[in-house]
Structure formats: C-alpha cells, structure tokens
Structure 1
C-alpha cells in the first residue's frame, strides 16, 4: 500500500502518524509506504521555522498539539505525547540545540520564558512540527517506510485503480491520496486587476492577498505612507514587520502603559476596514476548554434533531446569544452584585432562556448589561473613531477587557463561548441539520461575521502594541467603511473612510492585509484546478430559496472526507482542510488537547477507510 499525503502542515502530519500507528497495531499491509509531499517541507507553508520570529500564533501553546489523547473520539490507537507547551518544557531545548535552526538563539530564549496561556511564535510551532515528524520516523515499524518530497503537486490522475501524482519533479504512483491543503491563491478580482495595472503603470507597490510571512516590504522606505486594507490577523503581522521588524521597540511608561520607541525606519501606516475596528483581542485564557458545558447549545440538544434541515437557524443563533449572555452574567454577578443570589438567577435564566428576570432582580445597571449589538458594532459606543483619542480609548478598553481573563472578566468569558461551542457548530454543519436557506443566511452570513470579529482575534499584547503605535503616530486607523482607489493625477493610491470622508490619504504602497479568500472557483492552485478539469471535484452549492448558491468550498462528504458527488475514480482520494471550509466548519485550527478534536477525528476516519475497516 502506497499512500501519498499532499501537505505537510498539521493535518498532513497528524494523518502520517495515524497511518503509522494503525499499521503498527493492525499489521494490515505487508508493506506500507507513505510519501509526504509539500514544496515547503515539514510544517507546510505556514509553520516554517525560519520565518520572522516576531510573528505569533493566536492560540495558547497549551491548547495546541499534534497528538491524540483519551478524549478523542476515534477508533484507532491512541499514542499520546506533549502539547506545544509541554514540549517546550521537555524536549524542545535538546531538539533545537541538536538541529540548530537559523533562529536557535531566539527560540531558546522563547522557551525559557514561555507561559502555558501565553502565545508562542509561529517559528516555534514550526520547530515542534519538525520534532513531531522526527519523532514519528524514529519509531517506525519495520513494515513502514516514509519519505518527504519537497515539490508542488500539479495534478492527481486516476490510472488503473491507482493515482498518478504529478509534481514539478518526480511523478509518483499511489494507491490512496490524502490531500491536506491550506489557503491557496486566487485569481485577481476586477478591482485587484485595476489596482495592479495602476501600480505597474505608475511604479507603485501593490501587495495582493497572501501569507504574511511572505510579505516583502524591502521597497517601502522610511516615513513613506503605506495603506493596509484589512484590520484582521494579517494586519497585525504586517504592522509587526514594519515596526518591530525595522528595529522599533516597546517599553512601559511611568503610567504603566506600553509605549513605542521608533527606530526612524518605520513607514507611516494608514489602515482600515469595513467595520473600522481591529479584531477583538483574545481574552487571557484562565479556564480549561474542557470545563465548558453549554446551557443552551450542547450535544444533548443537538442530538434531539435527527433529520437534515430540522433545526432552525434562527433558534440556533438565539441559543448562541443566550449562551454568551449566560457566561457573561455568571462572572458578572458574583463580582459586581455579590448580594444577588447568582445561582438561583442563573438557574432561572437557564430554564426560561430569558435574562430580563436576572437583570431586574439583581438590579443590574444599564452600563453593566450585556449589549451584543454594541459588541458587534463598536462605533456605537466609540463614535468618531477616526479621531486618535477615540481609537486610543477603544484599544485601551479592549486590552483591559482581554487581560481580565476568561475566568474573572465577564466580557472575555462571554466571547470565549464562541470558541467553546465550535465543536457543537461543527456537528450541526456535518449532520446537515440546517436547511440550505438557514445555513446560508444564519451561519455563513450572520454568525460567521460575528465569530470572525469577536473570536479569532490576536493576542492581547498585539492590541496593546497597536495602542502604543497609534499614540506614537506611527499608525492611523480610518473610520468605518474604508474605501480604496487611485488618483491618476497624483499617480498614487488613495484611501478614506466613507463614514468620515473629510480626510484622504495618499500612498505609493497598498497592501491587501488578508489571506486569499477560500474560493474553489477562483483558486489558481494547479492541483485543485486539475481535479475540476477531470470532473473529480466540484464546487459546493447549497439550495437557497430555490437557487444553487456556491459557497466557495470544494464539495466533499464531511464525514468521509471524500469528494462529492463521488465516482469510482475518486474513491481513493481523500480531501480535507481549508479548501473545504463551509462544507466543514472552522477548518483553520490546529488540533487541541484534552477535548474531542476534529482534526484528530478526521485523520482517524480517513485512515480507517484506507485500512478497510469502514465501508
């Protein structure tokens, strides 16, 4: 049996270990050969050791692993091992010293100070991935061979019950293929084509959506104005590279607030987005994820729905909002209203699904009441956000909210619910419990926007740094409804806020500060295009009000990770990961320890099919 794994990021590495451990336990094949193919090598494109060390993960190191554990709902063997944090305390130093990667000194300094609920560098996770790969290879059964091919896969073609895997270098013949892909580049949109054409004509610098570790800012001169479109995770990475990456440093002022000392080599950064506010900081993690038990959204409730389309999207979002409110008041009442009978009031809330009784009996002040609309639309609380003092006030509040932590901070605890219920939402999506209409309108539109803003933000330290940069005048945040265009008379890009259009900014550099969109129809990835050309793969479409709406995902069976609608020719191909986002829910996370993990479960399901234990 020859299995080709395309992609050596976390999913590909987990799949590799699943194959090895299944073979060790079952001895199913006389010989098992596994070829891992990735042009970037172990860690894939995102988790390279030699990327700028200042770039951070946005998940705590004690919440990241590549190993299965006894909480995982899998049928295959469980071989436990250290999570990222435990690895830094046990094996990391020896591995880094022995292999001496380019950033050894920085990595060794990092592991000496890392906290379990802090945030590791992405290069450290890359080192963990490299160690994991070496760990798997060190104890291979005699019947297993593994090799790594650092090439891009151009096509996979069925041939006589096997698959020809064509790369830019060697061509392989495999019995099964597991495609574990990440974000891929897209064709430029009409607007991006125009911006690129303008940049070329006038000698400007235009950066299309890409991975932040690949940004090349060498052409950007000190004090030049740079426009960053987007206030998400890529924005923070770009800002880090243009400030710390150019020698700037942070220090504590006499007032205890973080301040920025410029190096003199920074550009002037102007940034914005539709909302006009950066993603919310992640709350300092002080509770265990496995401790969460939903009052309104939980597996008992989900299991009461057995038919596809039987769950109301409106009811689901109402329950999510109640779950968030419940978590908020669970922390708020003991802290600020100690005379209230919190247990009784929360029990009433859980039973009735209404918070008004709790608010009335505890006499919760208006400013202490949870306001979901205000959380989603911060401009309502912070109008005139284009003014520096207003943005500073918002960022200061966000830092304080995050640093109070998920155990003692009511708002941080409330927003943490969006991460706690991810497995519940995944189960709903996998089982197709929502109708096409409800899934499209309530989940892919309303909920995804809220979750993307409130629950996938940067470490609190990044917001604190941004506050210092805004105060120092290095970064300017536009108000809501950012607009970008170009001025042929000036020969420069320009940007402004449609909400506050009185001020316009001109620049020679425009950066699309975001990853490429997940869109199967516009991807330029040659492997995915080849699958479409051969009719082996198709874009996902869902029925919305009688119309087939494309979601951007590659259509798969989310349980079996096989291409839909499926043919005899595609039966040996398994496809999972980021390009299936919307067929699956939230595919961009690495495996988590100490709770049932979908990456571990997905890899085990694929392996069970390869080993012939699933029909």
Structure 2
C-alpha cells in the first residue's frame, strides 16, 4: 500500500502519525509506504525553522499538541506525547542543540523562560513539529516506511484504480492520497490588478496577500512610508519585523507601560482597515482547560436536531450571545458583587425567558450590564480614533481587559466563549443543521465577522507594543473605512479614512497585510486547479434566498474528509484543511490537548477509512 500525504504542516504530520498508529495494530498490509510531500519539508510553509524568531504563535503553548489523548473521539490507538509547553520543559533544549537551527541561543533562552500561558515563537513550534516527525520515524513498525519529498504537488489524477501525483521532476503512483493544504495565493481581484498595474507604471512596490514570514522588506528604506492595509495578525507580524526586526526595542517605563526606543532604521508605518481598530487582544488564560459544556450550546442541545436545515441561525446566535453573558455574569458577580448569591441568581437567569429583567432586579449597576455591542463597536466609545491619543487610550483599555484574564475579567471570560463553542459549531456545520440561507447569512456572515475581530486576536503583549509604537509616532492608525488608491499627481499610493478624511498619507509601498482569502475558483494552487478541472472537486455553492452564492471553499463531506461530488474514482482521495473553510468551520487551528479535537478526529477518521479499504 502506497499512501501520499500532500502537506507536511500540522495536519499532514498528525495524519502521518495516525496512519502509523493504525498500522502498528494491524497486519492489513505487509508493506505500507507513506510519502509526505511539501516544498517546505516537515512543518510546511507556516512552521518553517528558518523564519524570524520574533514571530509568535497566538495560542498558549500548554494548549498546543500534535498528539492524541484519551478525550479525543477516535477509533484508532492513542499514542501519547507531550504538548508544546511540556516538551519545552523536558526535551526541547537537547533537540535544539542537536539541530542547531538559526537563532539557537534565542530559542534556548525562550524555552527557559516560557510560561504555560505565555506565547511561543513560531520557530519553536516548527522545531516541535520536526521533533514530532523524528519520533514517528524512530518508532515505525515493521513493514512501514516513511519519507519526505520536498516538492510541490502540481496535480493528481486517477489511473486504473490508483492515483498519479505530478511533481516538478517526477510522477508518483500511489493507492491513496491525503491532501492537507494551507493558504495559497489567488488571482488578483480587479482592484488588486489595477493597483499592481499602476504600481508598475510609477515604480512603486505593491505586496499582495501572503504569509507574513515571507515578507521581504529589504528594499524598504528607513523613514520611508509604508501603508499596511489590514489590522489583523499579518499586520502585527509586519509591524514586528519593521520595528524590533530592525533593531528597535521596548523598555518598561516608570508608569509600568512599554516605551519604544527606535533604532532609526524603521519606516513610517501607516495602517488601517474597514473597522479601523486592530483585533482585540486574547485574554490571559487563567482557567483550567477542561472540556467546555455550555448552558445553552452543548452536545445535548445539538443532538436534538437530527435533520439538515432544521436549526435556526437566529436561535443559534442568540444562544451564543447568552452563553457569553452567562460567562460574563459568573465572573462579574464573583469579583465585583460578592454580596449576591451568584449560584442562585444564575440558576434563575438561565431559566428565565427574560434574563435582562432578572439582572435588572439585582444590585448590578447599569454600566456593568453585559454589552457585547460595546466590545464589537469600539468606535462608539473612541470617536476620532485617527488621533494618536484616542487610539492609545483604546489600546490601553484593550490590554487591561485582556490582562484581567479569563478567570477574573468578565469581558475576557465572555470572549473566551467564542473559542469554547468552536467544536459545537464544527458539528453543526458538518451535519448541515442550518439551512443554507441561515448558514451563509448568519454564521458565515454576521457571526464570523464578529468572531474574527473579538476572538482571533494577538497576544496582549503585541497590543501593548502597538500602543508604544503609536505613542512614539512610528505607527499611525487611520480611522474606520480605509481607502487606498494611486494618486497620479504624486505618483504614489494614497491612503485615508473615509470617516475622518482630512488627513491623506502618501507612500511608495502598499502591503496587503492579510492572508490570501480562501477562494477555490481563483486559487493559484496547481493541485486544487487540477482537481477542479477534472471535476474531481467542485467549489461549494449555496442556495441563498433563491440565488446561488459561493463560500470560496472546496466542497467536501466534513464527516469523512472526502471530495464532493464524490465520484467513484475519487474514493481514495481525502481533502481537508484551509481550502475547505466554509464547507467546514474554523480550519486554522492546531490540536488542543485535553479537549476533543477536530484535527485529531479527522485524521483518525481518514486513517480508519484507509484501513477499512
């Protein structure tokens, strides 16, 4: 049996480990040969060992693993191993010294100082992934071989019950193919094509969406202005590379806050987005990581819906909101209203058809009533956010909110719910319990936009650093409704806020500071294009209000990780990961120890199907 796994990131590595674990308990085949295919080798494009040590993960190291554990819902054998934090405290230093990657001294210092609820560098996780692969390789059962091909898979086609994979210099014939892909560039949109054309005309630099570790700022000169469009995670990485990456440093002032000490090599950074505010900081994790079981969203409630399209999108979002409020009041009452019998009050609140009325009868002050709209719309509290002092005040408040933590901060506890309910939402999406209209408009539309701002943010340290950079005048953040064009009079990019349009900024550089969108129909990935051209795969399309809408996803059966439309000659093809975002829910994740994990369970499901064949 020959199996190819295309993509050697975290998903591809977990799939490899699951196949080897299944092989260890069976004599299904006398020989099993597994080939991992990735142009970047083990770790893939995101988890590269040669990237800047300054770039951070945005998940705590104690909450990241590549191993299955007893709580995972899998049929295959459990092969235990350390999570990222445990590895750093036990085996990492010896492995780092053995491999001797770039920044070895910084990595050794990092593992010595890392806290379980801190944030590890992405380079450190890349080494954890490399170590994980060595453990698989060292413990292969008899008859199993494993190799890595550092090449890009350019196509897959059926051939006499097997599959031919086209690589740049060879073709590989295999029995099964597991595709675990990440983000890829797309064809330029009309706006991007126009900006690129004008940039070429005037000798400007225009950077399309890409992975942040691949930014090349070597030609960007000190004090030259660069415009960053986007205030998400790529923005924070770009800012880090352009400040600390150029010798700037942060020191702690007498007021307890960071102050930025420029090196003189920094550019002037102008940034903005539609919202005009950067993603909210992640709340400091101070709670025990036990399996989430909500009051309003839980497996028992989801199990009541047995047929596709029978769950109301409005009810689902109402329950999410109420779940957040429950977490908020549970912390608020304990920390700020100890005179209230919180257990009794919350029991009444849960049962009440009018929970706001229950709170109104308590000592809870009006300004302490849960208000998610205030979190979602900071522009209401911070108008004129284009002013340096206003943005600094917002960032100050955001750091303080995050550092109250998920145990003692009511708002941080509420926002943590958005991460806690992801597994329930994955089940809802996989079983197609929402109608296509509700799914597209409510979950993919209204909810996902809110969740992306509130729950996918950077570490609190990045927000504090940004505050210092804003006060130092190194970073300027535009107000809401950012607009960008090329000004033919100045022969430069021009950026401004359509909300506060009095100030215009000009630059020779424009960076689309975001990852490429998931878009099956415009992707430049040759493998996905090959599948679509052969009709082995199709873009996901939904019927919404009697019109067809695309989500951008490659359409799959989420319960089996198989391609739709499901041709007979695609039975041995498995497809999962980022290009399925939309057909599946929240794919940009790494396995979480101690909780049932979708990456682990999907990898095991794929292995089970292969070994059943």
TM-score by length of 1: 0.99
Q: In the TM superposition, what is the alpha-carbon distance from 1:353 to its structure 2 partner?
A: 5.1
Q: Secondary structure at the match of 1:537?
A: coil
1:367-386 alignment to 2 at 5 Å?
367-386=367-386
Runs of 5+ unmatched residues, structure 2: none
Q: In the TM superposition, what is the alpha-carbon distance from 1:27 to its structure 2 partner?
A: 1.9
Aligned to 1:455: 455
- Cα distance in 1 between the residues matched to 2:324 and 2:565: 38
Aligned to 1:139: 139
Aligned to 2:15: 15
Partner deviation per Cα, 1:99-142 (whole Å, 9 max, x = no partner)? 11122111111000000000000000000000000010001111
Aligned to 2:444: 444
Of 470-479 and 357-366, more deviation after overlay is shown by 357-366
Aligned to 1:155: 155
Aligned to 1:222: 222
Partner deviation per Cα, 1:560-606 (whole Å, 9 max, x = no partner)? 11110111111110000000001110000001110100000000000
Pairing 1:321–2:313 present: no
Partner deviation per Cα, 1:287-312 (whole Å, 9 max, x = no partner)? 13325320111111010111111100
- Cα distance in 2 between the residues matched to 1:101 and 1:266: 27
1:518–1:553 contact (8 Å) kept in structure 2: yes
2:352–2:358 contact (8 Å) kept in structure 1: no
Aligned to 1:92: 92
Q: In the TM superposition, what is the alpha-carbon distance from 1:363 to its structure 2 partner?
A: 2.4
- Cα distance in 1 between the residues matched to 2:467 and 2:252: 13
Aligned to 1:582: 582
Aligned to 2:557: 557
Q: In the TM superposition, what is the alpha-carbon distance from 1:254 to its structure 2 partner?
A: 0.8
1:374-413 alignment to 2 at 5 Å?
374-413=374-413
Q: Secondary structure at the match of 1:453?
A: helix
- Cα distance in 2 between the residues matched to 1:370 and 1:354: 14
Cα gap change, 1:36/1:309 in structure 2, threshold over 3 Å: closer, same or farther? same
- Cα distance in 1 between the residues matched to 2:396 and 2:583: 38
Aligned to 1:179: 179
1:463-478 alignment to 2 at 5 Å?
463-478=463-478
Q: Secondary structure at the match of 1:290?
A: coil
1:322–1:353 contact (8 Å) kept in structure 2: no
- Cα distance in 2 between the residues matched to 1:610 and 1:409: 46
2:291–2:594 contact (8 Å) kept in structure 1: no
1:243-258 alignment to 2 at 5 Å?
243-258=243-258
Aligned to 2:607: 607
Q: In the TM superposition, what is the alpha-carbon distance from 1:169 to its structure 2 partner?
A: 2.1
- Cα distance in 1 between the residues matched to 2:379 and 2:359: 25
Over aligned residues, Cα RMSD in angstroms? 0.9
1:19-168 alignment to 2 at 5 Å?
19-168=19-168
Partner deviation per Cα, 1:21-71 (whole Å, 9 max, x = no partner)? 100011211100000000000000000111000000000000000000000
1:294-309 alignment to 2 at 5 Å?
294-309=294-309
Q: In the TM superposition, what is the alpha-carbon distance from 1:361 to its structure 2 partner?
A: 2.5
Q: Secondary structure at the match of 1:297?
A: coil
1:398-437 alignment to 2 at 5 Å?
398-437=398-437
Q: Secondary structure at the match of 1:397?
A: helix
- Cα distance in 2 between the residues matched to 1:187 and 1:279: 27
- Cα distance in 2 between the residues matched to 1:289 and 1:455: 17
- Cα distance in 2 between the residues matched to 1:11 and 1:201: 42
Q: In the TM superposition, what is the alpha-carbon distance from 1:344 to its structure 2 partner?
A: 1.2
Q: Secondary structure at the match of 2:612?
A: coil
Q: In the TM superposition, what is the alpha-carbon distance from 1:364 to its structure 2 partner?
A: 1.7
Aligned to 2:282: 282
Task: Give the number of aligned pairs.
Answer: 613
- Cα distance in 2 between the residues matched to 1:136 and 1:537: 31
Q: Secondary structure at the match of 1:461?
A: helix
1:492–1:507 contact (8 Å) kept in structure 2: yes
Of 310-319 and 371-380, more deviation after overlay is shown by 371-380
